[in-house]
Chain A
Amino acid sequence: MSDITTDVCIVGAGPVGLFAVFEAGLLKMRCHVVDALPAVGGQLSEIYPKKPIYDIPGYPEILAADLVKNLEQQIAPFHPTFTLGERVEYLDKLDDGSFIVTTVEGTQIACKVVVIAGGLGSFEPRKPAIENLEKFEGHGVTYMVRDPELFRDKRVVLAGGGDSALDWAIYLAGLCKELTLVHRGTAFRGAPESAAKVTSMAEEGQIKLILKSNVTEVHGEEDLQAVTVLVDNATPYEIEADYFIPLFGLVPKLGPLENWGLDLDKNAIVVDTEDYSTNIPGVYAIGDINTYPGKLKLILCGFHEAALMAQSAYNILNPGKKFVLKYTTVNGIQELQV
């Protein structure tokens, strides 16, 4: 039994996902929107809310956050529902051609059509190119600190020079048996006070700081036992370690969508430009997450894609029913009943 039943499940609450609600709503299709972020707006809200955008038709200039606000207002008559703060994980196609979309938290959305408007994808840890690194994932190699207690009285090697490397070095130094911070540069660009704190803790012997260096190898049988650090690109140096935590920021990835059986090309979903359908009937991809010859990653192109997608999706939800293109200038917006 699914938690939510709707006509269209839109994966991604960025501007294109929101506008897809509008285009679907005009054709009387109900939408549920899922996003891993806790708020709508995607990149516009998370990355550049205060930046002006100049290529939205009708707006010589509009702040990203204001565009999101306007889109929310524009889709309000269609009463979309949302699951925010949950990343989609699974897509299951049922015998009748409909879908169950399941999030990482186990929320299930039953729908007839899935629209992926996932923008850059989800952000995942950037992994350094170290042979065998993945073999030790879960056996001493981890890319984030979820429960600091795990590292109590352990020998931990952190790598990185950003804020998270500095912050966790400071926090874990008091918890670990031995904490080593390996950094490629000679100085830190993180928050100055954190950088100063790490330097003084290193001087006091609470943190072992190895600058101008990289972790180049990981060693062990089943569990991690040691890492090799290359100092100054020349001298290898082995450190015994129970945990290695590379903290090199996040990189956008398709994440679980990679396992949905979609045709992909360089981290993007291949679509048919007639209706932005994917190779899975009933699944569409619009906006920055898709690719096709001549693709332009512009919000306005995503809006266009949403309009064509909605026409095609209408035919799935209303087989045999004649589609008539409606102009909003004729009847205005006819609200969907809640």
Chain B
Amino acid sequence: MTDTITIYVELKGERIPLEAPTDMGLTVMEVLKANEFDVQALCGGMAICATCHVEVLESGELPEMSDDEAYMLESLPHATESSRLSCQLRVKPELDGLVVRIMPEA
């Protein structure tokens, strides 16, 4: 088992690979911030601000949404069927190869 996975951010038609350790309890939001993507994550990971909203373009099995995450996504005007809050996606081996697009947020 590897300690690092690769997740990708699709930006302007390119897929930018990001190395993400699986043994630090990080979330995808934290990986995005660490790589200086424009993710505000104002609430610090409590699923209450949606400023870390991403669209999942490709993935293996994703963790199920909590009620808080689902409720927040439901309230966003431009969420899609594949929307997730990146603060709720914990970096685990199953997420290797995840492709996300950072969504513009109000």
Residues on A facing B (Cβ under 8 Å): 43, 47-48, 120-121, 126-129, 159-162, 184-185, 188-189, 214, 246, 248-249, 251-252, 266-267, 288, 297
**Contact between A129 and B104 (Cβ–Cβ < 8 Å)?**
yes
Assess whether B62 is interfacial by the CB under 8 Å rule: no
**Contact between A248 and B46 (Cβ–Cβ < 8 Å)?**
no
Contact of A159 among B51, B67, B77, B79 (CB under 8 A): B77
**Contact between B70 and A189 (Cβ–Cβ < 8 Å)?**
yes
Give Cα distance in the complex from A47 to B43, angstroms: 10
- In the bound complex, residues from chain B placing their C-beta under 8 Å from that of A120 are 42-43, 49
B contact face: mostly helix, strand, loop, or mixed: loop
Give Cα distance in the complex from A189 to B71, angstroms: 6
Give Cα distance in the complex from A248 to B76, angstroms: 6
Q: How many residues of B contact A (CB 8 A)?
A: 23
Assess whether B75 is interfacial by the CB under 8 Å rule: yes
Residues on B facing A (Cβ under 8 Å): 38, 40, 42-44, 46, 48-51, 67, 70-72, 74-79, 104-106
Closest to B106 in A: A126
CB distance from B22 to the nearest CB of A (A): 21
Q: A120-B49, A128-B106, A162-B71 are in contact. Are A214 and B43 (CB under 8 A)?
A: no
Give Cα distance in the complex from A248 to B77, angstroms: 6
- In the bound complex, residues from chain A placing their C-beta under 8 Å from that of B71 are 162, 189
Contact of B51 among A48, A251, A288 (CB under 8 A): A251
Given contacts A47-B48, A248-B75, A267-B42, 6 further A-B contacts (CB under 8 A): A120-B42, A121-B42, A126-B76, A160-B75, A249-B50, A267-B40
